[in-house]
Amino acid sequence: MLKLLITRNLPDSVIATARDHFDLTYRDSPDVMTRAEMETSLRDHDVVLPTLGDLYRAEVFAAVPQPRCKLLANFGVGYNHIDVAAATQAGIAVTNTPGAVTDATADIGLMLMLMTCRRAGEGERLVRAGDWHGWHPVQMLGLHMSGKTVGIVGMGRIGQAIAKRAHFGFGMTVKYVNRSAKDVPFPATQIASLTELAAQVDVLVIAVPAGPETHHLITADVLSAMRPHAHLVNIARGDIVDEIALINALQTGQIAGAGLDVYEFEPRVPQALIDMENVTLLPHLGTAALEVRTDMGRMALDNLIAFSKGQDLPNAVT
C-alpha cells in the first residue's frame, strides 16, 4: 500500500475509504500545516491529500530536492495554494476536485447576490441588536434583483451555474467575460473587456479560477467602471480582487455593496470591511455541505487510487 497523508480533518466516510486503500496517516486537525510539516509530508509519504491553506510554495519543494511524494491530490477545485510549476519540476503531479463543488458554490453565489442587493445582513443585525422599531415604507430599500443584468467573470462550470440560476430564477440578463465564447443553454452575451462588462451590469460576480494571471484581476479601474448602484460578489478566491481598491470603492460610494465569501489574506478580514454595513461577509462557505465535502473527498481519493494503479489521473492540473 502507498503511504498517504491527509492533512486536515475530512468527513468520516472519506477517511474510512482512504484506510481501505492506503497506509494512512491522518492529521485530524482543522489547522493549516506548517512549512516544516509540509516538507516532512514530501519526504515521508508517497501521496498527500492537502487542501486550501496548505501552502505548498516553491520554497517548500526546493527544501526537499528528492521527494518521496509523487502526487498532491488537492481537496478543492482551487489550487492557488500549490505552486504547480514547482511541483511539476520536482516530479510531483497535482490534481483537484472540479465537478463536485459546482452547484454548492453557485448556490452561495446567488445567496450573496440576494443578501447584498437586499441588505439582508444589515437587516438581521438591526433585529438582533434590538434596534428595529417596525416596518415603514422607505426602510432599508435595496436593489430589486429580478430583471436586472448580471455580469459573470469566468464562464466555467461555476460561472455557468450561477448564470443559469440568475437567468431562469430571476429573469436576469446574462453578460460575461471569458477567454473563449461559451455555448450555454440560456441567452448570454460575451463582452470584449472586463471594464466594459463592469460598466453594463447591476451585479458583477467573480467566478474565475485563481492563479498568477488572475491575481488582482479586479482593479480600481474595474471597480470605477461599475455604476454606483451596482454590487460585487466574490465566490472564487480573495486575491482576484484588489482588496484595498474594493474597500475604497465601498467607502466612497463608488459601488453600492459587496458580498464576499473569500478574502485576499484569508482568514484575515480587514476591519474596514467588517465595519461597513453595505458588505456581506461569509466564512468561505462555498462548499460547506456534508454531501458536497464528501463528494470532494471521494473525487480526491479517485485521483489517488488511479495513481496507485498506474492509471491516468481523472483530474490532473496542468
| Catalytic residue positions, numbered | 237, 266, 284
Q: Are strands 231-234 and 203-206 parallel, antiparallel or unpaired?
A: parallel
Pinpoint the alpha helices (H) of the chain. Answer: 12-21, 35-44, 58-62, 84-89, 102-117, 120-128, 157-170, 194-200, 220-225, 243-251, 271-275, 290-308
For 109, residues 6+ apart whose C-beta sits below 8 A from its C-beta are 158, 162, 165, 205, 207, 233, 235
Name residue 116's amino acid: T
Integer Cα distance of 160 and 174 in angstroms: 10
Three-state secondary structure call for residue 223:
helix
| Other Cβ atoms closer than 10 A to 125 | 13
CA pair distance 225, 177, nearest whole angstrom: 15
User: What 8-state DSSP symbol labels residue 239?
Assistant: G
